[in-house]
Structure 1
Amino acid sequence: MIRNISISTFINIIFSLAFIATVITFSLFISFDKQKHEINQQNRYELIAENFLSTFQNLPTAESLINLFKKFQVRPLENRDDKLKIIKNAQELTITQNYLGTYRVYKYDAQYYIYVQQYGYNLMLKDIRNSNYSMAIIISAFVISLITIFFLYAILKRKLKPLKLLNKQIIEFSNGNKDIKIKAISNDEIGTIAKSFNEAIRLINNQSKSKDLFMRNMMHELKTPITKAMFIAETLQNEQTRDNLQRAFKRMDDIIKELATVEKLTSANSMMYKEQTSFFNIYTKTLEIMMISPENIASKIKGFQFEVDVSMFSIALKNLIDNAIKFSPNNKAIINASKEQIEISSLGEPLKYDLDYYTEAFSQEEKRSDGFGLGLYIVKTIVNLHGYKFTYHYKDGKNYFCIKM
């Protein structure tokens, strides 16, 4: 699952987890630190009380008591009303009784008081040291941690921003914009990838232009001598020689037409001219291109309208019907067409490989004298350009090629 999420989403998840972990860590730390503070306070008050109770047994002088007040940073409360008010209204935190006497710890208005009792002595002490739990340092550390996390997050997102731009430009290039130039705005790995991709685009464009120029020149140079040769072959007296030559030249002409179709479909300047038309119109045009008798085709067609490039779609249908007739033992093709799908079937052996093998250019199960391995490649290319899906299955001794719409 992690392999399927984007880098940006992954970073967001990581920093979200880091933020949550930081909050939980500081929350637990505060909780434990408070407990530790309370234990330390309790131990301090216990020490203070036991020192005063021990001193009371030895009949302390005023000077010795003053020294204890200074040592433990406490101050006695002299006002009786104040004592009663604290005993009545304060929160009693603890009460301890031992052989020395009794002491209590009170909390009142954020102040702590120690009430020490022994025979002959009744003393309430106020803790004048700041004993309240302070979170200032912890909060400061927490804020600094969060600022650090957000700072690192912002830096990393900014560092990856060129990668998003690079991805956008690569998608634009894959969609057909061959003139795009990717901007390399940094000298790091992303900038290196951008420079390398620019170089790859340049090489691809040069190769594409060379291929287009070669294809057009080759087809132009071959078309004329083939046409002339076919006319010359007509003048031959030997019928068998004439037929053999005409078949050879016809095959060469078919190959050039297929290559021309491939060149048109793969050209950067290839344009589709979609128009609303009926399937009957496509079917009629296909039969005109094939120049065969309708007796070779059994059709079951439902009348429907759809938007296609008439010329391209007729070529795709022609290739499917031509393959069905050519490789069927009874030389017949069956067409079932509806608005949902166009299905061409014929008797024959199942394909040896997956359909993807045959939709690659120049793919054949074996070398044949009557094919060039471009038929299904052209079909799939045209079907994909229209946004349809090209499928194949075998059932009851028949091959079924379907264009799902």
Structure 2
Amino acid sequence: MIRNISISTFINLIFTIAVIAIVITFGLFINLDMQKHKITQQNRYEIIGENFLTIINKNPSNTELQQLFKQFNVKNVKNRDKKVKILNDAEELAIKKTSLGTYRIYYYASDYYLYAQRFGYNLMLKDLNSNKYNFAIIIAILLLSLLTIFFLYFILKRKLKPLKELNYEITKFSKGDLNINIKPRSNDEIGEIAKNFQNAITLICKQTESKNLFMRNMMHELKTPITKAMFIAETLEDEKSKLMLQKAFKRMDDIIKELATVEKITSKTSVIYKENTSFFKIYQKTLEIMMIEPSNISSKIKDFNFEVDINLFSVALKNLIDNGIKFSKDKKVKILAERKRIDVISKGSKLKHHLDYYSEPFSQEEKRADGFGLGLYIVKTIVYMHGYKLKYSHKEGENYFSIILE
């Protein structure tokens, strides 16, 4: 489970656990320290009480009492009304009876008082020590600890921020956006990764630009002589040679068109222009650009409307039909179309490899000499550009190439 969470989430989790642990630790510490403080106070008052009861038993002089007051840092409360108010209103914390007498401990108005009694003789003492439990220091230490944790958290998150930005740019790059510019913000490992990735992007852009320029120039240079050659072939009197040349030049022209389509759909400037249209209109346009006899195609179409790039989708459907006719046993295909899917069906053996193998550029079966291996690559690319799926299945001696529209 930990392997599947992001670094940011993992850091948040670790620091959350650390903060909770600190709060719990301080809570336990305060509880234990308060108990210790209470025991210390009780022991102190027991000592004071025992000493004063012992002195009272010996009928001490005023000087001896003053020395004892000073020794234990207490003050004698002489005001009778105040004594009565303390006895009536104060919180009684403890009471202890000994053979020498009785003493009580009171808490009143943020001060501690010791009340000693022996055979009608009483003495009320106010503790002058600052014996209150000091929460301020504990809270200050807790806040300092939490501030340290949050400071470290902020520093770490800030340190990893360039990594998050780098991931965002890489995601954009993976979707085909080459117009990104990554500026390293530091000289650490993340900065080095950003720098190297930017260098790789620059190199890829240059190679892509060079490839596109080469493709455009090649297609332009080939198109003119092929057109001239086809025109010259028309003038030949030998029908056999004429047909052979026309077929060869037609194939070369088809290859250039396929390469042009590949260049168009894989270009970083490629844009699809979707418009609402009917499938029947797509089907009619496909037949027009194929220029074949409709007798090779049977169809069962439940017409529907959807949003597609008419030109590109017609090319995709044309390539599926063309492949079906070219490699089927009877040179025929069936078209089934409805709102959820479009099936191109032809008779033939099951493909030897997975569909992904044939939808890679320049992929062919070993024995297929007719074809340049771009047909299914073009189909898959166009289909995926529209957000649809291309699937293959084989049933009862027939190959099904399906465009899933859901």
Query: Could you tell me the TM-score, scaled by structure 2's length?
Result: 0.88
Secondary structure (helix, strand or coil) at the match of 1:29 reads helix
Distance in 1, Cα, partners of 2:313 & 2:37? 83
- Could you say which residue in structure 1 is the equivalent of 2:124? 124
More divergent stretch after superposition (133-142 vs 22-31): 22-31
Which residues in structure 2 correspond to 1:29-44 (within 5 Å)?
Answer: 29-44=29-44
Q: Which AA in structure 1 matches 2:40?
A: N
Q: CA deviation at 1:207?
A: 0.5
Q: Which AA in structure 2 matches 1:101?
A: G
Secondary structure (helix, strand or coil) at the match of 1:370 reads coil
Q: Which AA in structure 1 matches 2:139?
A: I
- Could you say which residue in structure 2 is the equivalent of 1:380? 380
Q: Which AA in structure 1 matches 2:389?
A: K
Say whether residues 1:359 and 2:359 are aligned partners: yes
Distance in 2, Cα, partners of 1:158 & 1:144? 21
- Could you say which residue in structure 2 is the equivalent of 1:162? 162
Distance in 2, Cα, partners of 1:36 & 1:355? 76
Distance in 1, Cα, partners of 2:357 & 2:54? 99
Q: Deviations over 1:190-209 (max 9, x none)?
A: 33233222211211111111
Q: Which AA in structure 2 matches 1:387?
A: G
- Could you say which residue in structure 1 is the equivalent of 2:141? 141
Distance in 2, Cα, partners of 1:213 & 1:156? 46
- Could you say which residue in structure 2 is the equivalent of 1:189? 189
Q: Which AA in structure 1 matches 2:298?
A: A
> Taking structure 1 as reference, are residues 100 and 326 closer, same or farther at Cα in structure 2, changes over 3 Å only?
farther
Distance in 1, Cα, partners of 2:400 & 2:103? 98
Distance in 2, Cα, partners of 1:144 & 1:396? 76
Say whether residues 1:201 and 2:201 are aligned partners: yes
More divergent stretch after superposition (36-45 vs 58-67): 58-67
Distance in 1, Cα, partners of 2:399 & 2:38? 84
Say whether residues 1:46 and 2:36 are aligned partners: no
Distance in 2, Cα, partners of 1:223 & 1:6? 52
Q: CA deviation at 1:154?
A: 3.0
- Could you say which residue in structure 2 is the equivalent of 1:313? 313
- Could you say which residue in structure 2 is the equivalent of 1:322? 322
Contact 1:251 1:370 in 2 (8 A): no
More divergent stretch after superposition (127-136 vs 143-152): 143-152
Say whether residues 1:107 and 2:111 are aligned partners: no
> Taking structure 1 as reference, are residues 391 and 73 closer, same or farther at Cα in structure 2, changes over 3 Å only?
same
- Could you say which residue in structure 1 is the equivalent of 2:259? 259
- Could you say which residue in structure 1 is the equivalent of 2:278? 278
> Taking structure 1 as reference, are residues 223 and 112 closer, same or farther at Cα in structure 2, changes over 3 Å only?
same
Q: CA deviation at 1:317?
A: 0.1
Q: Which AA in structure 2 matches 1:399?
A: N
Q: Deviations over 1:46-87 (max 9, x none)?
A: 121122233344443433322221111112223344333322
Secondary structure (helix, strand or coil) at the match of 1:114 reads strand
Q: CA deviation at 1:386?
A: 1.8
Secondary structure (helix, strand or coil) at the match of 2:124 reads strand
Q: Which AA in structure 2 matches 1:355?
A: L
> Taking structure 1 as reference, are residues 352 and 103 closer, same or farther at Cα in structure 2, changes over 3 Å only?
farther
- Could you say which residue in structure 2 is the equivalent of 1:73? 73
Q: CA deviation at 1:316?
A: 0.2
Q: Which AA in structure 1 matches 2:71?
A: K
Q: CA deviation at 1:333?
A: 1.8
- Could you say which residue in structure 2 is the equivalent of 1:94? 94
Q: Which AA in structure 1 matches 2:14?
A: I
Contact 1:261 1:378 in 2 (8 A): yes
Segments of 5+ residues of structure 1 without an aligned counterpart are: none
Distance in 2, Cα, partners of 1:238 & 1:311? 35
Query: Could you tell me the TM-score, scaled by structure 1's length?
Result: 0.88
Distance in 1, Cα, partners of 2:372 & 2:338? 30
Q: Which AA in structure 2 matches 1:337?
A: A
Q: Which AA in structure 1 matches 2:382?
A: I
> Taking structure 1 as reference, are residues 365 and 99 closer, same or farther at Cα in structure 2, changes over 3 Å only?
farther
Distance in 2, Cα, partners of 1:341 & 1:226? 38
Say whether residues 1:212 and 2:193 are aligned partners: no
Distance in 2, Cα, partners of 1:393 & 1:238? 42
Distance in 1, Cα, partners of 2:118 & 2:352? 105
Q: Which AA in structure 1 matches 2:218?
A: M
> Taking structure 1 as reference, are residues 46 and 395 closer, same or farther at Cα in structure 2, changes over 3 Å only?
farther
Segments of 5+ residues of structure 2 without an aligned counterpart are: none
- Could you say which residue in structure 2 is the equivalent of 1:349? 349
Q: Which AA in structure 1 matches 2:145?
A: S
Q: Which AA in structure 1 matches 2:67?
A: N
Q: CA deviation at 1:5?
A: 4.1
Distance in 1, Cα, partners of 2:2 & 2:335? 46
Q: Deviations over 1:118-165 (max 9, x none)?
A: 346432222111111111211221222232233333333333333344
Q: Which AA in structure 1 matches 2:66?
A: I
Distance in 2, Cα, partners of 1:322 & 1:188? 55
Q: What percent identity do the matched residue pairs reach?
A: 64
> Taking structure 1 as reference, are residues 44 and 397 closer, same or farther at Cα in structure 2, changes over 3 Å only?
farther
> Taking structure 1 as reference, are residues 115 and 268 closer, same or farther at Cα in structure 2, changes over 3 Å only?
same
More divergent stretch after superposition (330-339 vs 226-235): 226-235
> Taking structure 1 as reference, are residues 394 and 46 closer, same or farther at Cα in structure 2, changes over 3 Å only?
farther
Q: Deviations over 1:272-305 (max 9, x none)?
A: 3333322112111211222222222221112222
More divergent stretch after superposition (18-27 vs 90-99): 18-27
Q: Which AA in structure 1 matches 2:277?
A: T
Distance in 2, Cα, partners of 1:51 & 1:353? 101
